[in-house]
Structures are given as structure tokens and as C-alpha cells.
Amino acid sequence: MTNNPFPSGTVLGYPRIGRRRELKRALEAFWAGRTTVEELEATARDLRLATARRLVELGLDAGSGAVPGSFSFYDQVLDVVALLGAVPSRFGRDAGDHARGSRLTLEEYFTLARGSGEDSPLEMTKWFDTNYHYLVPEIGPGTPVRFSDDRVVQEFAEARDAGIVTRPVLVGPVTFLLLSKAADGAAPDFSPLDRLPEVVAAYGELLARLAAAGAPWVQLDEPALVTDGHVPFGEVADAVRSAYGTLTAPAVGSGRPAVLVAAPYGGLQGERGDALALLAGTGVEGVALDLVRGALPAAPLPDLASKLVVAGVIDGHNVWRADLAERLSLLERVSELGAGAVAVGTSTSLLHVPHDVDDETRLDPALAGGLAFADQKVREVAVLARGLAGGRAAVADDLAASVAAVAARRAAAGVAVPAVRERLAALTGADLDRAPYAERAAVQRERLGLPVLPTTTIGSFPQTAEIRAARAAHARGELSDADYAAAMRAEVAHVVALQEELGLDVLVHGEPERNDMVQYFAERLDGFVATQHGWVQSYGSRCVRPPVLWGDVSRPAPMTVEWSEYAASLTAKPVKGMLTGPVTILAWSFVRDDQPLADTAAQVALALRDEVADLEQAGIGVVQVDEPALRELLPLREADRPAYLDWSVRSFRLATAGAATATQVHTHLCYSEFGDVIGAIDGLDADVTSIEAARSRMEVVPELAKAGYDRGVGPGVYDIHSPRVPSVDEVAELVALAAGAIDPRLVWVNPDCGLKTRRYEETTPALRHLVEATRRVREQL
């Protein structure tokens, strides 16, 4: 065991965007050129210190590395790219800079994340099964890899000087490389893992510097070890042995801090191999286990006798108060595993939950009493740590209060609504089926009269400052319901006129009335409640405020019909109604944990099914049901996937299969690599599926063709995650690529995703190029 005592309780990470989204505001002001880099650094420093002090106030130890140093200016994976100076060559970084090991400037760091001029940014994708997005490193045989950035050390020193000994948190080397993609031009047999020795050497240098600065512990996150990924377990195991063998070779104290490897988002013991035994066999001093999603190891592990186990018994990924009596029992069982020491922890970083329930002044106290956000979870950890050390009697009141809170939540009115349950019980298989696709396609062709390569958008148009101001004024009660509705209708009219002018084929109303694609629906459905300050980081400065799904779901009234109907009244072209699908509504909400997700999804699906019927009734002939989160919830372990795909596909079909044969059902999925869910996409039985594809240059289209997919597909030809406007040539090339890879009669032309985060200055020319490029390719068909 290490001579660095570990604190009795910790959390694996803490939200970094700020209680009032201070970092978001500071980043956006800096990007807009309104503040200097020094001002941004100062805001970030204040935020880090305020966070560290708050964690101590909530009960974490100030002196032993209990407080995680988990700050990031943008993304924790990008931070490792910066640590290694692993900048792809297209960013044209001076080779000399790298040879000198000089650190990226913040401007360079943000360029990797956001692109600039002709440089497209790193690709962004979902972090495990969460709604957080990381930037995908590009590692080739020649990518520079060398210790280049001591920001982590400086942040440690800054907190230390303020009297708090933090535990720096970084993505571990194995996960970093498993999440990397091979750089363009790398040989087909190259794997980013080939660069492990150099990557580990850079981490080794960092660890040495942290030890010199006095850090007792460092946390390296290795969530890739809880997944069944594309790399065979044997190769992962070799990488783990090699990486942690090398990193733990120097002596603790002088050469390095003690190493805690954290494995959030699931269990380490998979069907393909046992990564817990693997880690236990390395020289690391501690392992943090996710005991919410992962099971307790069935047998004691002798190799753990010399190690610390941080038992992640408090869920870092949901917002419910825990039954602390039950959690303490689990901790007692962990103690029987024979580890050298047991500390209490969270299952994951608290990055995925809002800051503080106490900020929610408008919640029904009955509901608020059942919630725990980040700060409450830190307190739960502290209580359990006292209970583990001092016995149940030491924390009897806290245990009893938590048990009562959980019971009260389950018994609250609205949690079980008989009418909802009866409707669900009466469903049959026929409720999931539409007419055969060929029949639908013929009728829809006739009804819609679209050209080949029809153009459309994914739904939202830019959410302008005016829209946001009107919404804020409405929320403050300064703008009446009628005036707000009038402002939004004016926006719809503007968006429809613009689309007509641009010459798009299937129009949308632009979603100005939606604050968020899930929250909007949650506010209109029974069983949900919205928070005031419950923001969580989605990527970079972007935050979302997930609603809380606490009870049985039903739809008191139509939710979207007036908007689609109004848009349709302004044009002779087809207007696409726009709904968010059941899986996405679940994925982007905090969902009740007292019944199977499948049942909750089916309740949401039935509410949407009624909405589809009302849209049809209003004359809307195209309805899109967005499921951007379908892949996000895909279980990380292969064995769990079939059951998930079954209920998720069924819920989509339950939402859409009530549609008439002549109604064209679209869906939108927000990612490009979906090898794992290709069968499910077919199973959704949508008439048209739009997907992200611009950054991966349409890679997905030949994959779909190969899988025999034979319905409409709209691979995105314009990467909306970046402000860059693609040229006509560039878009035409992508459209031609798609039309050459699959039957061109199936191909739709659209952006990668909704346009709400973009500005009209970018959107209008980009869509103009999209329509022009389509026209060109049509002529060549």
C-alpha cells in the first residue's frame, strides 16, 4: 500500500462550467473578441478555486487529494491532446514549437475544438453513454507526441497555494488512444495504440512534475475498460499492463504521485475479459469502481489486498437522492472484498449533473426532497464515509432521512397514473407496424411530388439574439403570451420565406419556439418538471438543462401543431412537422429509476403518437421524429445491447406507426459511426433517415448500401458544428459521393444537424451553396 493515505471520501470529478455558467460566458466573450486571454484565465482561476473551496465546505478533505482537479477549458480529451502537443498537421503548427515542447496557446487549443478559416476542427462525438461530447484526437505515425503542457501542474500548485491539496484528474493513456482515430493518410494497419510508449512517456513526465509539486495522488480515467469496443481485449490488456507498468515504475513520492485508475460508466469485469483483475495486477495504488452500473466483484481479489478501492456507490449520472442505508450495506460488502482500503466515491464524475438542488426555488418541495445534484451528492459521499468509518449509529439520522425521502418520492401522486398504465397494457404488435415501405413510398411520391435529391434541413434555424431576448422577456413576465407567440410566428414566417427564396424542397418552421428539443416537450407533458438552474455541459461552452422525468407521462394537449400548421399556411411546399423521439427524450432527461426504461419510453411514445395523429389531422404530410440519442444510450457491453435495441426501436415505432401510408416519416440521428446500430436503423422503419456525415466524408453511405438499406437517406453535407461555410464545390463533391454510393433516388440533401447554434451569416450562404450544389449534381445524374 502507498504511504499516501487516501481520504475516506471523494468524487471522481465536478461540474466545471460554473454554478451560473461563468465559464460559458467567459469563453463566449473571449471567442467574440470582447475579452483578453488574461481575463479568461482569471475567470477560470476564480472558478477553480471557488470549486475547490466549495468541495471542502461540503465535506471533502482539504489536505489529502480528496478534491478532484477536474477543470477543463473545453474538453478533457482535448486537454490530453494539448498535454501531448498532438496537433494534427493540417493545423500547420510550427514543427519547431513542438520540438521545443512549447505549450499550445489557448487560441491554438480552441482552434482544435472549433476550427478556423479552412481548418476543420477535430471531430466531436459522444462520451461513452452520456450526452457529453469529446473531441476525437487524430493520431498517426508522425503525429507529434511529447510532454508539452504543464497546465495540470500549475492548476495543482494554484490550489495548493490556496491551501487545498487536489487530485489532478486526466483521461488515462489507454482510453485516450482507444478514443483516438488514426490520422488521415496513416497506413491501414496503423492503430493509435501503436504510439502508446511515447504517450506513456509524456504522462510519466507529467507525473514526475506533479510529484515535485507535492501532489499525493493523480486520477487517470480509463472508462474504455468498461466497454466492449472494437479493439480485442487481449490488445487492451497488453496496453494496460505496459502503460501502468511503466507509469508505476518510479517510486511513489519522489518520482510520481500515487495512481488511482478510475473506471466510470460500468463494470470492469466483462465477458471478453476481466479488466479489474488486470488493473489489480499492475502497480497502481488504487482503483475506482462504478458500483452503480457495474456489479460488485463476485469473489474477493487477492491482488487488491495492497490497493485502495474507491467504491463508486453514489450515482454520478442521475439526480435522485440515494437510499444511504442501502448504499452503506453495499459499502460493507465492498469491505469484505479484501482490499487494502476502501473509500467512498461517486460512480462517475459529477460532470453530468447540475450543481445544487438548493438553487431550485420553484420546485415542488415533495419532488425537490427526492433530488440530489452535485453538491448533495458530495454530502452523501461525506455521510457514507463517516458511516463506513464510524458505523451506522454515527450517521443514523442521515440514513433515516434518505430512506424516508426515497419512499416519499415513490409514493407521490402522479408517479403511477392508472389511465396511462391501462393504455400501455392494451397495446399489441399491430400498433408497431405500418404498410410495407414500397407501398408507402409510391403513395408519398405521388403526394409530395419532390425532385430527385430533395433538399431539406434538420429542423431548427438560428436561434437569434432576438428570439432569445423574447423568450427571456416572456419568462420574466415582461412579454405577454400573445406577444411572445406573435414574435415567434413572425420568426416562422421569416424562416419559411427564406427557405422559399433559397429553393429548398421540404420546409420546416424553424423551431424558434423551442428553448431545447427535449425541454420543450417536457414542459408540455405531464410527468416532467423543468429546473431553473439545472445546466450541464454538453460540449465546450454548450450546456443543456435536462428536465426531470419523475412520473407517468401523458399529453394533456397538442404540443407542436399550431406552429407546423402556421408554417404550412405560408407556403405551397411540403412542411415537415418536427418531434423529438422517445429515446432522445429519455436520454436527455433525468429519468425515474423506479421502473424499466422500456416502460417509461413507451409512455412517452404514446404521447408522441397522439401528436403525430394531430399533425396529420392538420394536413401535415411529412413528420420527422428525431432520435439523435439512439446510439448514445447503446449499452457499452455487447451482452446488454440486444435488449436495449429492442425496446428503443419499439418505442420509436410505437410513436410513428400510427402514421398514415401517405405520411412520410423522417428520423434524424446525430452521429456518423453507427456500425453497431445499423440493424436498428432499419428496424425504425422510417421513410427517410438523416445522419451526420460531412466530417467523415459520407463514409456512412456505402456502409448503409452494403447493409442493404433501401429507404431514404440524408447524409449531412454541411458540418453545422463549425462556423465555416462550405463552398458549392465542396458540397457538390459530397452530394456526388453519396449519390454514387447508393441508389441516388434514395438520397436526400441536408445539413448534418439543426442550425440553431449557427448564425444567419453562416447559415444562409451555406444553404445557398447546398441548393446550388444539389442543382449541379442533379444535372449530372
Residues at the binding site for Zn(2+) are 668, 670, 692, 753
**Does position 628 bind Zn ion by CB under 5 A?**
yes
Name the amino acid, one letter, at 671: Y
Residues in 602-631 that interact with ligand GLN by CB under 6 A:
626, 628
| Residue 88: closest CA among 156, 180, 9, 193 | 180
**Does position 670 bind Zn ion by CB under 5 A?**
yes
Q: Locate 159 and state its grid cell.
A: 490550489
382 binds, among ligand GLN, Zn ion, none (CB under 5 to 8 A by kind): none
Q: Locate 626 and state its grid cell.
A: 428525431
- Nearest distance in Å: CB 486, Zn ion: 29
**Does position 460 bind ligand GLN by CB under 6 A?**
yes
**Does position 504 bind ligand GLN by CB under 6 A?**
no
- Nearest distance in Å: CB 682, Zn ion: 19
Measure the CA–CA gap between 585 and 654, rounded to whole angstroms: 14
- Span of 169-177, 219-227, 408-416, 751-759 interacting with ligand GLN by CB under 6 A: 751-759
- Nearest distance in Å: CB 752, ligand GLN: 9
Place of cell 419523475: 550
Give the angle subtended at the CA of 441 by the CAs of 440 and 443, to the nearest 5°: 65
**Does position 753 bind Zn ion by CB under 5 A?**
yes
Strand partners, 166: 67
626 binds, among Zn ion, ligand GLN, none (CB under 5 to 8 A by kind): ligand GLN
Contacts for 520 with CB less than 8 Å, ≥ 6 apart: 513, 514, 559, 580
Comparison of 167 and 631: residue with beta carbon closer to ligand GLN? 631
**Does position 492 bind ligand GLN by CB under 6 A?**
no
Contacts for 244 with CB less than 8 Å, ≥ 6 apart: 259, 261, 279, 282, 283, 284
The secondary element (H helix, E strand) that includes residue 135 is: strand 133-135
- Nearest distance in Å: CB 131, ligand GLN: 10
Query: 665, 659 in Cβ contact below 8 A?
Result: yes
**Does position 236 bind Zn ion by CB under 5 A?**
no
Comparison of 18 and 510: residue with beta carbon closer to ligand GLN? 510
Strand partners, 487: none
**Does position 458 bind ligand GLN by CB under 6 A?**
yes
- Nearest distance in Å: CB 268, ligand GLN: 32
- Nearest distance in Å: CB 612, ligand GLN: 15
User: Which position among 44, 47, 169, 753 is part of the footprint of ligand GLN (CB under 6 A)?
Assistant: 753
Largest CA distance in the chain: 80
**Does position 670 bind ligand GLN by CB under 6 A?**
yes
Comparison of 339 and 495: residue with beta carbon closer to ligand GLN? 495
| Residue 108: closest CA among 91, 90, 132, 131 | 91
Q: How many residues interact with ligand GLN (rule CB under 6 A)? A: 13
Comparison of 278 and 691: residue with beta carbon closer to Zn ion? 691
CA distances from 461 to 494, 524, 715, 764 (A): 10, 22, 18, 10
**Does position 559 bind ligand GLN by CB under 6 A?**
no
**Does position 69 bind Zn ion by CB under 5 A?**
no
460 binds, among ligand GLN, Zn ion, none (CB under 5 to 8 A by kind): ligand GLN
666 is annotated as an active-site residue: no
User: Which position among 177, 754, 766, 770 is part of the footprint of ligand GLN (CB under 6 A)?
Assistant: 754
Q: H helices of 619-699, where?
A: 641-656, 678-684
Q: Binding string, 77-96, against ligand GLN, x = CB under 6 A?
A: --------------------
Q: CB count, 10 Å around CB of 115? A: 18
Give the angle subtended at the CA of 275 by the CAs of 258 and 203, to the nearest 5°: 40
- Nearest distance in Å: CB 669, ligand GLN: 8
Query: 638, 676 in Cβ contact below 8 A?
Result: no
Residues in 252-311 that interact with ligand GLN by CB under 6 A:
none
Q: Locate 85 and state its grid cell.
A: 502537443
Q: Which residues are annotated as a binding site?
A: 21-24, 126, 131, 458-460, 511, 542-543, 588, 626, 632, 668, 670, 692, 753
Comparison of 517 and 559: residue with beta carbon closer to ligand GLN? 517
Catalytic residue among 133, 317, 355, 721: 721
Strands (E), 257-408: 258-263, 286-290, 308-314, 341-346
Edge-to-edge strands, sheet with 622-626 = 576-580, 622-626, 664-669, 688-691, 712-715
Residues in the chain: 781
Chain residues in the site for Zn ion (CB under 5 A): 628, 670, 753
Residues taking part in catalysis: 721
Chain residues in the site for ligand GLN (CB under 6 A): 458-460, 511, 517, 578, 626, 628, 668, 670, 753-754, 756
